[in-house]
Homo-oligomer: A and B are copies of this chain.
Amino acid sequence: MFSKSCEYGLRAAIFIAQQSKLKNKVSLSTISEEINSPQAFTAKILQQLTRNNIIKSIKGPYGGFMVEEEKMSTQLSEIVNVLDGDSIFTGCGLGLKQCDASAPCPLHFEFVEIRERLKKMLENTTLISITDELNIESTILKP
């Protein structure tokens, strides 16, 4: 479904958001431990999220990563878009370049519904909505 980068990126963003809510900055090493991801690779992904202004990074002692207040409303679909592009939301299930209602592949109409549902779900889920739930339910971020 998603690339490894995207899976790690989503888990990292959720973890950082969770900690930011508690006013904590978190270091790369903490993040990769908590979400169980390869550290150096995770660093690259966090750089992408930082460049795209989804998370904030602070260098130096007592530095780390955080999600700023106003970025807590970031939709998960934005993170997916940054890391995997939008093909999951718009691409044809059978890989056709031109597939739409006027020239549909055999799966087109049913696929659109599933794609749309996934999209809606990831748009309706934000860092703040997830971290709110994380405290209530017993959800997890590592295997």
Contacts and interface: CB of A to CB of B under 8 A. Distances in A.
A82 to B, nearest CB: 16
A95 B139 contact: no
A70 interface: no
Contact of A106 (B14, B94, B103, B110): B14
Interface of A: 1-2, 4, 7-8, 10-11, 14, 76, 88, 91, 93-99, 103-108, 110-111, 113-114, 117-118, 121, 125, 130, 133-134, 137-143
Nearest to A118: B114
Number of copies of chain A assembled together: 2
Given A4-B95, A96-B140, A114-B121, 20 more contacts: A1-B1, A1-B91, A11-B95, A14-B106, A96-B142, A96-B143, A97-B143, A99-B140, A104-B137, A104-B138, A105-B140, A106-B125, A106-B130, A106-B133, A106-B141, A107-B125, A108-B139, A110-B125, A114-B114, A117-B117
Contacts of A106: 14, 125, 130, 133-134, 139, 141
A99 to B, nearest CB: 7
Contacts of A125: 106-107, 110
Contacts of A8: 95
